[in-house]
């Protein structure tokens, strides 16, 4: 437990730093603003009026329509589609010349076919070079379904004697939340909870790289502590700072009215996730010669970490894939949503956390033990990786 000396010293210096306190308050301010915006956004989505999730789609795609009966033209979404009544040949020529995204050709005798219970063949010509084609196709298909349903109901009604006609009792029942709403609510809350894990990389860089630039590494190594205890002590101080901020953020979210089930388990999983992230950051810091190099390396590594956390969580929302449970963010999302979690689903992310933590801290300690890493000249990454796995004297082997 001798590493606790380093932990207490680093933790105390961090909390007493004016720079840290200023950054801490700014982060809390950003969190409050994001909560206000998210609450307003979700409130608008859940309201009867709703809210558009994209910029204005008025006349988003142009389409020529040849429909003498006017049946289909009236039912199309004129807010999204810029519809121009044209003849069949002219509509198709508009698509060929790139002036329109699509052309819809409706048979001239469509009303007569409907009255005689005959099918209608619609021709939709789409410019596949236009990325807006999917919007047009979706709108036309939606319109066709609505009209088909209406015509079918009229046919059925015409076949039933008027004395026995009963008005159908149609009820719409919705179960669960739509996919866009799940993405907004679950993913946004998950990102807010995991955000503190990526805000303290500069602390680790300053703690390790700073020792090199300030030339204080020799003093630190001369202390009656092993290299492993020094690294664990420094990283534990960062984890404690993260723990304080995550606890405060969860408390703010609960006060703001967010329904977070199992907050204690959510908190523990997030803190457990911070351990390998801090360890990976320490590997970058231990190998880097200066702050600039560490910052560049950290940017690339954090992109990969964010992808590892977010992509499986998105996959779970869309498809409930079992493989998505490898991400701790998926586990946190399921915990605060109140989803049932099996022991297997619980152990998969925890095991991945433990494995990554063990590897990252082992590499950091090995790097910290090397004089050529701490004081130079530093070996290349390939040579260093081979030496870490036990392959030495490469030139002699060749």
**Hey, which residues does 81 pair with through a beta bridge?**
61
What is the C-alpha to C-alpha distance for residues 375 and 104, in angstroms, rounded to an integer? 73
Q: Which two tokens stand for residue 230?
A: 């020094």
Q: For residue 256, how many other CB atoms are within 10 A of its CB? A: 13
What is the C-alpha to C-alpha distance for residues 143 and 78, in angstroms, rounded to an integer? 11
According to the model, what pLDDT value does residue 174 have? 45
**Per-residue pLDDT in tens (0 to 9) along the chain, 398 residues:** 577 777 888 888 877 878 778 877 887 787 778 777 766 666 655 554 444 434 444 566 788 888 888 877 888 877 778 888 888 888 888 888 888 888 888 888 777 777 777 777 888 888 877 767 777 888 888 888 888 787 777 767 766 655 544 444 444 444 444 445 555 667 788 888 888 888 777 778 877 887 777 766 667 666 777 878 888 888 898 899 899 889 988 898 888 877 788 899 999 999 999 999 999 999 898 888 888 888 888 888 999 999 999 888 888 877 777 788 899 999 998 898 888 888 888 898 999 999 999 999 999 888 888 877 777 677 777 777 777 777 765 444 44
What is the C-alpha to C-alpha distance for residues 46 and 53, in angstroms, rounded to an integer? 12
**Hey, which residues does 125 pair with through a beta bridge?**
103
334 contact partners, CB below 8 Å, separation of at least 6: 316, 341, 345
Q: Is this model's pTM higher than 0.85 or not?
A: no
According to the model, what pLDDT value does residue 280 have? 92
What is the C-alpha to C-alpha distance for residues 205 and 285, in angstroms, rounded to an integer? 5
Bridging pattern class, strands 102-105 and 61-66: parallel
Q: Which two tokens stand for residue 381?
A: 């990454």
The Cα angle at residue 41 between residues 39 and 45, in degrees rounded to 5:
115
């Amino acid at each position: 437990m001798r590493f606790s000396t380093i932990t207490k010293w680093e933790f105390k210096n961090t909390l007493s730093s004016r720079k840290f306190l200023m950054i801490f308050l700014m982060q809390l301010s950003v969190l409050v603003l994001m909560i206000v915006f998210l609450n307003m956004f979700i409130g608008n989505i859940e309201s009867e009026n709703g809210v558009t999730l994209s910029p204005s789609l008025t006349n988003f795609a142009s389409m020529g329509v040849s429909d003498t009966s006017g049946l289909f033209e009236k039912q199309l979404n004129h807010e999204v589609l810029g519809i121009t009544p044209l003849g069949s040949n002219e509509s198709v020529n508009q698509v060929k010349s790139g002036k329109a995204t699509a052309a819809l050709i409706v048979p001239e005798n469509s009303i007569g076919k409907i009255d005689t219970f005959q099918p209608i063949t619609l021709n939709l010509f789409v410019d596949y070079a236009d990325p807006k084609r999917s919007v047009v196709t979706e709108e036309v298909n939606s319109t066709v379904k609505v009209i088909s349903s209406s015509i079918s109901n009229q046919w059925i009604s015409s076949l039933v004697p008027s004395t026995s006609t009963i008005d159908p009792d149609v009820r719409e029942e919705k179960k669960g939340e739509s996919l866009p709403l799940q993405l907004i609510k679950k993913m946004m809350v998950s990102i807010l909870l995991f955000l503190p894990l990526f805000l303290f990389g500069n602390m680790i860089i300053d703690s390790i790289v700073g020792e090199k630039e300030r030339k204080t590494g020799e003093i630190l190594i001369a202390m009656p502590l092993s290299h492993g205890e020094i690294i664990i002590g420094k990283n534990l101080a960062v984890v404690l700072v993260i723990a304080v901020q995550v606890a405060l953020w969860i408390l703010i979210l609960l006060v703001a009215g967010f329904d977070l089930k199992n907050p204690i388990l959510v908190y523990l999983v997030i803190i457990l996730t911070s351990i390998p992230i801090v360890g990976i950051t320490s590997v970058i810091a231990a190998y880097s010669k200066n702050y600039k190099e560490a910052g560049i390396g950290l940017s690339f590594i954090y992109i990969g970490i964010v992808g590892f956390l977010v992509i499986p969580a998105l996959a779970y929302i869309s498809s409930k894939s079992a493989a998505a449970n490898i991400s701790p963010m998926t586990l946190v999302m399921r915990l605060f949503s109140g989803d049932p979690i099996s022991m297997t689903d619980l152990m998969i992310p925890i095991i991945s956390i433990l494995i990554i933590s063990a590897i990252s801290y082992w590499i950091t300690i090995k790097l910290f033990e090397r004089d050529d890493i701490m004081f130079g000249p530093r070996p290349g990454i390939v040579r260093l990786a081979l030496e870490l796995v036990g392959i030495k004297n490469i030139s002699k082997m060749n």
